[in-house]
Amino acid sequence: MNKLASALTGLGGERVALCDVSVTADLQDLLAEVTVSQTYRNDERVNIEAVYRFPLPLDAVLLDLEVDIGGRVLKGVIVEKKAAEEKYEDAVEAGDAAVMLEAIEPGLYTMNVGNLLPQETAKITFRYAILYRWAGDRLRFFLPTTIAPRFGESPHLPHQAPEASLTVENQFSLRVEVRGALRDAQFVCPSHAVELVKSSESVVLSLSRPKAVMDRDFVLNVKAPQATRSFVLCGQDGDGLAAVASFQPFFPGLQQPRPLNLAIVIDCSGSMQGDSMEQAKQALEGILDGLQPHDRIALIAFGNSTNVLSDRPLPCNKTNLAKAKRFAKALDANMGGTEIGNALREAYAVAGRSESADIFLVTDGEVSDWETVIDDAKKSGHRFFTVGVGSAVSEAFVRELAAGTGGECELASPREGMADRVVRHFERMRAPRAKRVVIHWLEGAANIAPSTMHAVFEGDTVVACARFDRAPAHGAAILQVETDKGDIVRQELAFPAAAPSGSPDGLSTVARVAGAARLKELDDVAGLETALRYRLVSPWTNWLVVAPRTEEEKAQDLPALRKVPQTLAAGWGGVGSVAMSISMDALAAPSAMYSRSVDFAAMEDFDLSEAETVRRALPLDLPEPYRRLLELVDAEASRLDVAGALDLLTQSGLAAEFDDLFRHAADLGLRVDVVAAIVLARLLGGPLGEFLSGEAQVALASLQERAREATDAIREMGRHGIALARLTQQPVARQVLRERSDEDTLERFARIRELLDHLEDAMRRSGECMQQERARHAHREGGAIA
């Protein structure tokens, strides 16, 4: 954590209690196990209670929790929620240390660390398992790191409501090990720059830098055509056996795609500004391009009000599609708060009462009262196909909304392609609907979950669980789907032998995963009983650790509450941009795409000093300024640093091309030599890089790292400027702050934000000039030959 982050959090100047987060993930053939360590430290003079609200994947099943404090390592136990809260409070009041982990809604948890003494550190480690959800031969593994601000009043207790901070950058380290058949997969990481190391046993991916800011989901897309995607897992469940079946059905080819009656709902609230809005418009463009003449559409844009294309679905003729595209082009994230309930009621009215009407929703999902929205959606009779966008999407809302209405969900971070998501949803919507879905278990199956199943889509994972009092000798689980077209599809999965649990109570990971799957369908009494039996954190149970202290060590006063702020999600509300940072990140990061079919070297094992020392001959059509630049660098590679960047650009004749950019930077008080270093790193990091000698490549790598740091700093200033503008709106409205008192500061931040756009424009123009000059040279050479 940087000095600013560790020193500035609350108004009273209290320090951030969360000082480190480390994550290790083990991707096995059939499921992933993830271990998270959170380290809390009290640098204050009083004892504190640290409260940290954090996200986990919706399907995560927490398995273990342990606390390392005061030289002791204590294991967590599952306790009924009210009893856990009372024991936690009693321990804190008695001066002892206590840790309690609770689930406050699907996918969101609160860690309470009570009575952390001055200069004391507590390391809390928990582990969870997650089953894979395949879409064809593709798997999206992701780790959420922050909670974006939500619209509306939080339904949670005040100390549990997350607060985003502009001055805190929580950071994490990451190691992902891929074993088994998945090690032969292709990996794409659109969210972070990563490094890859391979061995005969596994593939290990880690962040290209020691730590990353927790301002976006970590996303790893895996393409594994040869992986096992349909299977049955069996494990010991006390004296019985638990089974988890993962089906992936494929249907016969469609004779005629189903016509669509589609209501398209686009979130245009303020939180969608920036990356999310660009993603939404890309999705809408893809939707409109995928429509056929026999389809019908309605378009609804919403914020705190709604804007509709028409009060009824329109046939998709050329006139109406042109009208829809004009409507889409004019959309922007300027419609206020996320009043999604009103927007969906508008969609229900426009779509009519036809059960064939589907709703295609694109949103970041940042609403507080989302469970009420889902309840209303279930009553509407319409299927929802959702696309969750943004760097920290609310997975629970968009996933549960789709699942609860018989639809499906896709998630897309700013650097992921939107076209694949739209195509996938169109395939689902046009496919025959499942009329009847049945899973035939072996005799003796009990505690089956889900108890009923309605929506099944080709190529998507279908998970079901059951328990047996005794292990079946042999047999299979069978998924049978009957479509409304009369087709019947069957998939049969054989039962494997069950391995011993290795746990004193005979509960295997499979048994606990199966137990967690049943919780959604149970009432309070059965839910509590199941959660206690399978040691699961749930709406009825918490993890609890109490660390008694000696009388001399006990805290003498009640602890001061310290909420750990969330790092503001990248791109949220237009604050910064994940998508824009692609070209910037390329300054120092290797490509994030790896394939086992090609030998890739990890950056840490690649020594540029061993590269060839003689650069390639310069092409004849290279414009003279660029030729001079390469010759200057080749003659004295040591000049490739911040101090020499501006001189190199000037002597080569390239500085004039960027004169406006340098003046812009100087006017804002930024160092021109640093901006020149960014420009030089970009120029040489592109096509010119192949003509650099090995020595120059080594120097360039160092320059690129410095340029990346400078770019991040400029971008951060822009982010804070936008937030400052928003923060002053309310004091101005309440007549606490004079309307123009902060004008100079806001204007300067706005111009700093524009500097990166100016840089992109300058780099684009430079590239275009180079291409035009080379084209003119080719034309002259062609004419001379003729």
CA distances from 232 to 34, 235, 260, 297, 498 (A): 21, 10, 36, 41, 10
CA distances from 483 to 294, 360, 423, 429, 435 (A): 22, 22, 21, 13, 5
485-542 pLDDT tens trace: 888 889 999 998 877 777 788 899 999 999 999 999 999 999 999 999 999 999 999 9
Q: Which tokens go with 613?
A: 């020392």
Q: What is the pLDDT, as a whole number, of residue 687? A: 64
Find, among 391, 410, 485, the residue nearest to 192 by Cα.
391
- For 607-610, the CB contacts below 8 A with 24+ separation are 608/694, 608/697, 608/698, 608/701, 609/694, 609/695, 609/698, 610/694
Q: What is the pLDDT, as a whole number, of residue 461? A: 94
Measure the CA–CA gap between 229 and 124, rounded to whole angstroms. Answer: 33
Q: Which tokens go with 296?
A: 């019908």
Tell how far CA 248 is from the center of its chain.
25
Q: What is the DSSP code (8-state) at residue 487?
A: -
Find, among 470, 367, 462, 471, the residue nearest to 153 by Cα.
367
Q: What is the pLDDT, as a whole number, of residue 619? A: 59
Q: Which tokens go with 348?
A: 């229900």
Q: Which tokens go with 284?
A: 């809408």
Measure the CA–CA gap between 669 and 784, rounded to whole angstroms. Answer: 51
- H/E element holding 645? helix 642-652
Compute and round to an integer the Cα radius of gyration of the chain: 29
Q: What is the pLDDT, as a whole number, of residue 48? A: 95
CA distances from 135 to 180, 411, 482, 528, 611 (A): 20, 12, 21, 33, 41
- The residue type of 547 is A
Measure the CA–CA gap between 587 and 684, rounded to whole angstroms. Answer: 10
380-424 pLDDT tens trace: 999 999 999 888 889 999 999 999 999 999 998 888 878 888 889
Measure the CA–CA gap between 392 and 136, rounded to whole angstroms. Answer: 24
Measure the CA–CA gap between 357 and 525, rounded to whole angstroms. Answer: 38
Measure the CA–CA gap between 441 and 626, rounded to whole angstroms. Answer: 70
Are the CB atoms for 737 and 731 separated by under 8 Å?
yes
The stretches in the chain having pLDDT less than 70 are 1-15, 154, 156, 158-162, 166, 252-256, 353-355, 473, 572-621, 687, 690, 718-751, 753, 767-768, 770-786
Measure the CA–CA gap between 66 and 123, rounded to whole angstroms. Answer: 8
Tell how far CA 262 is from the center of its chain.
28
Partner residues linked to 507 by β-bridges: 237
The tokens 């032998």 sit on which residue?
497
Q: Which tokens go with 404?
A: 């609860």
Are the CB atoms for 92 and 48 separated by under 8 Å?
no
750-763 pLDDT tens trace: 667 677 777 777 77
Q: What is the pLDDT, as a whole number, of residue 607? A: 34
Burial readout 758-776 (b: 16 or more C-beta within 10 A, e: otherwise): bbeebbeebeeebeebbee
Q: Which tokens go with 709?
A: 């740091």
Find, among 544, 563, 571, the residue nearest to 333 by Cα.
571
Q: Compute φ and ψ for 384, nearest 5 degrees.
A: -110, 130
Find, among 356, 346, 377, 344, the residue nearest to 296 by Cα.
356
Are the CB atoms for 506 and 529 separated by under 8 Å?
no
Tell how far CA 44 is from the center of its chain.
33
Q: What is the pLDDT, as a whole number, of residue 613? A: 40
Measure the CA–CA gap between 295 and 356, rounded to whole angstroms. Answer: 12
295-348 pLDDT tens trace: 999 999 988 888 999 888 999 999 999 999 999 888 888 887 778 888 899 999
Sign of CA dihedral 404, 406, 407, 410: positive
Measure the CA–CA gap between 52 and 50, rounded to whole angstroms. Answer: 7
Q: Which tokens go with 88?
A: 């936690």
Around Cβ 119, how many Cβ atoms within 10 Å? 10
Q: From its phi and psi, is residue 408 left (phi > 0), alpha (psi between -120 and 50) or beta?
A: beta
Q: Which tokens go with 357?
A: 């009407």
Q: What is the pLDDT, as a whole number, of residue 667? A: 74
Measure the CA–CA gap between 520 and 537, rounded to whole angstroms. Answer: 13
Tell how far CA 501 is from the center of its chain.
33
